[in-house]
Amino acid sequence: MMSDMELPSRIDWVAAGCRLLAATAEEFRRTQPFAGLAIGTAIHLEPKTAALLMTLKAGGARLIATGNLNSTQPETVAWLGRQGIAVVGEQTTDASAHDRFLDAILAEQPDLLLDNGGDLFARVAERPYARLRGGTEETTSGRMRLAPLREKLKLPILVINDSPIKQFAENRHAVGQSLFESFMRFTNRSTNGKRVTVFGYGACGKGVAACFRNAFSVVSVVDIDPVTSLEAHLDGFATPLRETAIRNADVLITVTGAPGILYGADLPLLKDGVILFNGGHFPHEIDVAALETAAERIVRYEADGITTLHLRDGRTIHILAGGHMANLAGPRPLGNSIESMDLGFTLQARCLEMVAQGRAGRDQCVVPVPDEIDAAVAEAYLALHR
């Protein structure tokens, strides 16, 4: 992966930890499941994604890649270019620029799509093209967005997030760890005794709540589903009503996958000095624009990714990463652990292989990873790590 003249990089360190992807790439070099096919991708461009894209390339794919809002890492883009992988666009928080990058990917009419947040397939629903065989969607946010479009799409689209492996390995364990680590990296503030409210008690929320509790925070959970709230209660977390949870919190964390979780009308409830940050895919869980409109003065710590709002009544509110996904933003954005992404991205590779080979039907539109792929990936990972 590295030439004699090229210095070692973080991408090399990450690739060395992606043992399952490496084994899959070795198999793909022999089997060539993507020979003659183009794969368009819209997913965070960071070192672990580079390992996935190189695995697909080993299988014969021609790749056209773009990133997601705010998370594209320039060093990864440059490295991918040296490997002959076409990358459209650069790091941006401008939604209109991001839309242009997505349109450029689809203008190439790839045979397969690897989507993250439903950006590509939502466009395909309105502007289909004949050669598209289907593909994958990575996230809960994307599944929520694409499920109502099944009748328009009518393509095999396998949702990685709905794999039990993705749920426990990446969402519960890795997102919990990486958001906790990101809080420390952004703020360098103690979590001991802090009152932390987590919005959303899905797999990601469970991991976040557990990690902050393990770091001696006092953790509350808010979820709109009463059954899920009951689960949080029985797991030992406080489950106050929403208004009470906001009023008492020193730290508010959104991990729901849905928009409008914290909004301008919540401003009177926010505690002086509260820290707001988001772990969901899209930067719309916290209405940052509405909160900023109410500020008398805004201080931006650009290098640290922190925005401080000074309100007219003397309160301050701190927002991390501008409301973008915090574990892939700010200084040294590392994302989830290498091992968790090795598992999740191997699911991606195997699902794309299944669609490429015509083993997934049109009735498998926005459905979970097939059980046989889950079982094969789990067994392969265990064989490497036992």
pLDDT recorded at residue 112? 98
pLDDT greater than 90 at residue 316:
yes
Q: Where do the structural domains in the chain lie, given as residue ranges?
A: 10-155+337-385, 170-328
Average pLDDT over residues 273-287: 95
pLDDT > 90? residue 33: yes
Cβ neighbour number for residue 379 with a 10 Å cutoff: 10
Query: What pLDDT, on the 0 to 100 scale, is given for residue 7?
Result: 62
- Identical fold for domains 10-155+337-385 and 170-328, yes or no, is yes
Residue 44's SS3 state is coil
HSE-up of residue 102 (Cα within 13 Å, Cβ side): 25
User: Domain 10-155+337-385 belongs to what topology?
Assistant: Rossmann fold (3.40.50)
pLDDT score, position 266? 97
Burial of 354 (0-12, 13-18, 19+ CB in 10 A): buried
C-alpha span between 161 and 343 (Å, rounded): 12
Question: What confidence tens digit (pLDDT) does each residue in 111-155 have?
Answer: 999 999 999 999 999 999 999 999 999 998 899 999 999 999 999
pTM of the model: 0.89
- Residue 29 confidence (pLDDT) above 80: yes
So what's the pLDDT on residue 335? 92
pLDDT band at 6 (very low <50, low <70, confident <90, very high): low
- Angle (nearest 5°) at CA 105 between 103 and 108: 110
Query: In this predicted model, what pLDDT tens digit does every residue of 236-275 receive, in sequence order?
Result: 999 999 999 999 999 999 999 899 999 999 999 999 999 9
Q: What is the pLDDT of residue 185?
A: 95
- For range 31-51, the mean pLDDT: 97
Element (H, E) at 339: helix 338-356
Amino acid letter for position 189: R
Locate tokens 């003397």: which residue?
314
Does residue 304 carry a pLDDT above 60? yes
pLDDT tens digits, 178-225: 999 999 999 999 999 999 999 999 999 999 999 999 999 999 999 999
Percent of the chain scoring above 70 in pLDDT: 98
Q: Please determine, for residue 4, whether its predicted confidence score (pLDDT) is greater than 60.
A: no
Query: What confidence category does residue 311 fall into, taking pLDDT thresholds of 50, 70 and 90?
Result: very high
CB-based contact 248:273 (threshold 8 Å): no
Q: Residue 245 and residue 100: Cα distance in Å, rounded?
A: 40
Which pLDDT tens digit goes with each residue over 73-117?
999 999 999 999 999 999 998 999 999 999 999 999 999 999 999
Provide CATH code, domain 170-328.
3.40.50.720
Q: Does the pLDDT at position 360 exceed 50?
A: yes
Question: Which element (helix H / strand E) includes 345?
Answer: helix 338-356
In the block, residue with structure tokens 């996904």: 325
Which pLDDT value is given to residue 93? 87
